[in-house]
Amino acid sequence: MALPQKLPSKEIIACNSCPRLRKYCLGIAKTKRKSYLHETYWGKPITGFGDPKARMMIIGLAPAAHGANRTGRIFTGDRSGLWLYRALHKAGFANQSTYERADDGLKLNDTYITCVVKCAPPDNKPTPAETARCSKFLEQELHALTEVKVLLVLGQIGLSAAWPLISDQVLKKFPDAKLKKPKLKHGGEMTLPDGRTILMSFHPSQQNTFTGRLTEPMFDGVFERVRDLLR
């Protein structure tokens, strides 16, 4: 029987596979934003964060240049994190809604958060080649988190990048399964042959939250559904 995979945290932090992304992250860490000039930026690839025995895995796009690339923890220090950790706290998946620093005492319960691309990309747009190179880490995380029952995917890019890995994982167990990539719909879901559920949400980016495409009740509703599925 194969041993369970370990989470690839050290490998992620040490990765230099994408020169454009590494140059951008290090450049941001050096120049900084005016309001963060007194801080030491992380400036390296971002690992996942949370409970390794989690039943919910959240898959986002990539770190923010002055968010996780600054603080060293995924969804920490930016407005997307405000929405995510607030919702997780309200639903009982986090011990607090504070999300400003990696040492702020935040702990996740039954939840693991990761992203498709581990380095902050210029304009929040990784290239297809960069996404492909980084996919090995998400694949390892999917295999390592053996207790996951709900895969919560944030946004179209997250869904598009995660789907080939998820479907491949399913087909290795159920080679005759008929799988079709779901269309992104907020609150949409798909039950997989292995019993897991893909749940979809609009990404809590400023582009979505400022325009009202994603509202707080809509986002809270996704985590209420997660609770239902985990019961």
What DSSP line would sit under 4-61, residue for residue? PPPP-HHHHHT----HHHHHHHHHHHHH--GGGTTSPP--S----EE-TT-SEEEEES
Grouping H, G, I as helix, E, B as strand and the rest as coil, residue 224 is: helix
Name the residue among 211, 224, 229 with its Cα closest to residue 88.
Answer: 224
Going by pLDDT thresholds of 50, 70 and 90, the confidence category of residue 221 is very high
Q: Mean pLDDT over residues 126-133, rounded?
A: 95
Q: Would the pLDDT of 22 be above 70?
A: yes
What pLDDT was estimated at residue 36? 95
> HSE on the CB side for 17, CA within 13 Å?
18
Q: Please give the domain boundaries of the chain with CATH numbers for all domains.
A: 9-230 (3.40.470.10)
Going by pLDDT thresholds of 50, 70 and 90, the confidence category of residue 97 is confident
The H-or-E segment that residue 206 falls in is: helix 206-209
pTM of the model: 0.95
What pLDDT was estimated at residue 3? 41
At 138, the amino acid letter reads: L
Q: Would the pLDDT of 217 be above 60?
A: yes
CB 25 within 8 A of CB 43: yes
Distance CA 52, CA 29 (A): 29
Q: Mean pLDDT over residues 171-192, rounded?
A: 96
What pLDDT was estimated at residue 1? 35
Q: Mean pLDDT over residues 114-142, rounded?
A: 96
CB 51 within 8 A of CB 114: no
Q: Would the pLDDT of 32 be above 70?
A: yes
Q: Would the pLDDT of 2 be above 50?
A: no
CB 170 within 8 A of CB 179: yes
